[in-house]
Each structure stands twice: as structure tokens, then as C-alpha cells.
Amino acid sequence: MLLTIDHLYKGFDQGKVQAVFDTSLVLEAGKTYAFLGESGSGKTTLARLIAGLECPDRGEIYLNDQLISSESYHLPAEKRAIGFVFQHYALFPHLTIAKNIAYGISKTAGRRERVEEMLRLVNLNGYGKRYPHEISGGQQQRVALARALAPDPRLILLDEPFSNLDSHLRQKLRTEVFTILQNAGVCSVFITHNAEDAMAISDEVLVFREGKLLQQATPMALYHQPSSPYVARFFDTLVDLPLALLASFNYKGNKNKTYFLRNHHFHLDGSGEFVARAQVIRTLCLGKDYVVEVKVGEHLLELSAVKPPETSEVGLGWREQDLLSFDA
């Protein structure tokens, strides 16, 4: 186990805000992880605890089975060899790119070679003599990455690495960063609020809410077996299916459970195992798909469809395999 976290707690403002609450998890070497959560979910605090930038109130953190953080012991951040890429990069403005990258490397022979190697790795050969403000945002991002990788960390944490970028650049950089980290072969953790980023880049996603770890799973498992409606809502809009509505579809639900369908899992052509008559209230075109508002009995549903309905009354169907059920 590269990193083990055992019942970790961290509060702020004399415990008024509980940023990390009874969190336990295990990260393995060589894998890529994503901490996914909304702002205030505690994912950034957890990353800062791992890096040693904060001290926990309770619980332990182990790196390679060695204790690095607990209530009474704190290995300082500068001694952990854990890399951190900051949200706004935090490049040192008065140092050149090369000197930024060299900053964390000890003054041994081969320092210059290591800097050159890093510049090549992030595809910035020849940029060493420039200053951070002289290069673009995407390039700054890569310098920050190179700087964090240069001292050969055991683990690297990336705090919202793509949040400053527009969606086009985001996709491009996501692939780039992923490739760089794969080549470096280092265990990395992406901290993000964007589910798509998390899914695209990681082997495992850890979803956080209000300081608690809700689920740790591969992207595939996370999508198909979400542990709660909250996790499922990261990817799609869910349609709530109360028992009375399920009855209209001739589906008998368990009253100890709650049921949901993703809004694009309804079929407006009457196909599927469970079907009911629905009245089309209105249709909005969003470009590649449509929002369709329908009424089943007394229930108003907002669905997503690739084709607009042709008649004002349709057969609305769905498959049992798509139904999400959770313990109430």
C-alpha cells in the first residue's frame, strides 16, 4: 500500500466546520486516482492533509507503511516527498522556468540534466530561460507539473488542475497531463469537481461529500453501481420514481427503497419492459438532444431524448437493467 488513511478527522473554526470526517482509504502505487466532490466536500483539505500542509485532528496517515500524520506526530510537508500541483500553479514569478523546476531538486550533480529531462517530458524544450508570465496558461500548467515531478515524488497531488481552462483546452491538456504522468510512472491524485475529468483520467474515483468518502470505485463501476443517488447525480440528471408512479408502469417497488432512472433512459417509442401512456407537455431543442416534458397520470417528468416525440401522446418505456434502486 502506498498510502493508507485511517479514520481521519479535520475541522476548522474550532470544529464548526468539519472538513474531513472519519475518512479511511487506501491508494496503491502506480495507479491514478481522482478525488471527486463539490466545493466544500473536503477533497482539497484531504489532499492538503496528505501533503502535510495541514495537521489532522484525529486519525492517521501512512506512507509506505510509515506514519506521517497523526494527532501527535506530524512529518513536515518539506520532508514527505509528496508532490503538489496548485490550482493557480503557484509558480515563482521571479525565477525562470528552469529555476522553478530546479527549485526542489537537491544540489547534486545532474541537477541540470534533470531539469532538461523534465522540460522534455512536459514538451517545453528551449523554454527554460523564460519567466512564468511570458508563457501561456497551458504551458504554466505543464511547468507546475514538471516542477512537482522533478524531485521524483512518491505521490503527486493535483488540485483542480484544469479548472482555469476553457473546455476545448481542457480536453487537450487532460490527455497531455495523463500521458506525462503515465510516462513518469508516479501515483497521482487529481482533485476535481468535474465528473468527466475524474472519469477520463483515473483508474479509480473517490467521491466525497461533506467531508465523508461516499464511494471508491473504477469509473465503470461508479457509473453502473453508484452507492447513492448523490453519486449518480454527478453524471446525469436523475428522475425520481415514487412507488405510485412505478405502479403506473406496472412495476411493484419495495417500500423500503427509493427508485431512480437517468433522464435519458426513458424510451419515447414505447419500447422497454415497463410502459405507460404519457402526455407530451412541451419539447425544447438543445442542439444534439431534446428536453421533453411529459405527464404520466399526475406526475410531471423532464426527460432527455435524441429525437423529438411525433405525437402529443406517447408510450413511455424503460428497462429494468437501467433502474437504480437505493435503500431508503
The CB-side HSE value for 91 (13 A sphere, CA atoms) comes to: 29
Placement of cell 514538471 in the chain: 146
Containing H/E element for 159? strand 155-159
CB of 61 to other proteins, least distance (A): 15
Instruction: For other proteins, give the closer residue by CB, 151 or 272.
Output: 151
Q: Does 129 bind other proteins (CB under 8 A)?
A: no
Number of residues that bind other proteins (CB under 8 A): 29
Angle (CA) 145 151 152, round 5°: 85
CB of 88 to other proteins, least distance (A): 6
Beta strands 3-12 and 17-27, pairing class: antiparallel
Q: Does 51 bind other proteins (CB under 8 A)?
A: yes
Q: Which member of 14, 65, 109, 133 binds other proteins (CB under 8 A)?
A: 133
Question: Are 58 and 8 in contact, with CB atoms under 8 Å apart?
Answer: yes
Q: Which member of 68, 148, 191, 303 binds other proteins (CB under 8 A)?
A: 148
Q: Does 151 bind other proteins (CB under 8 A)?
A: yes
- What is the chain's Cα-based Rg? 24
Instruction: For other proteins, give the closer residue by CB, 79 or 168.
Output: 79
Task: Identify the DSSP state of 77.
Answer: G
Question: Are 77 and 51 in contact, with CB atoms under 8 Å apart?
Answer: yes
The cell numbers describing 102, all together, are 530546479
Q: For residue 151, count other CB atoms closer than 10 A to its CB.
A: 16
Q: Does 131 bind other proteins (CB under 8 A)?
A: yes
CB of 290 to other proteins, least distance (A): 38
CB of 49 to other proteins, least distance (A): 13
Instruction: For other proteins, give the closer residue by CB, 62 or 131.
Output: 131
Segment interacting with other proteins (CB under 8 A) among 47-55, 185-193, 200-208, 248-256: 47-55
Q: List 311's β-bridge partners, or say none.
A: none
Q: Which member of 7, 31, 88, 112 binds other proteins (CB under 8 A)?
A: 88
What are the angstrom distances between the C-alpha of 23 and each of 8, 75, 217, 227, 245? Answer: 5, 20, 15, 16, 37
- What is the rounded CA–CA span in Å between residue 75 and residue 56? 12
Instruction: For other proteins, give the closer residue by CB, 53 or 243.
Output: 53
Please, which of residues 91-110 interact with other proteins by CB under 8 A?
A: 91-94, 103-104, 106
Q: Does 147 bind other proteins (CB under 8 A)?
A: yes
Task: Identify the DSSP state of 54.
Answer: S
Binding mask 56-85 for other proteins (x = CB under 8 A): --------------------xxxxxxxxx-
What residues line the site for other proteins (CB under 8 A)? 51-53, 76-84, 86-88, 90-94, 103-104, 106, 131-133, 147-148, 151
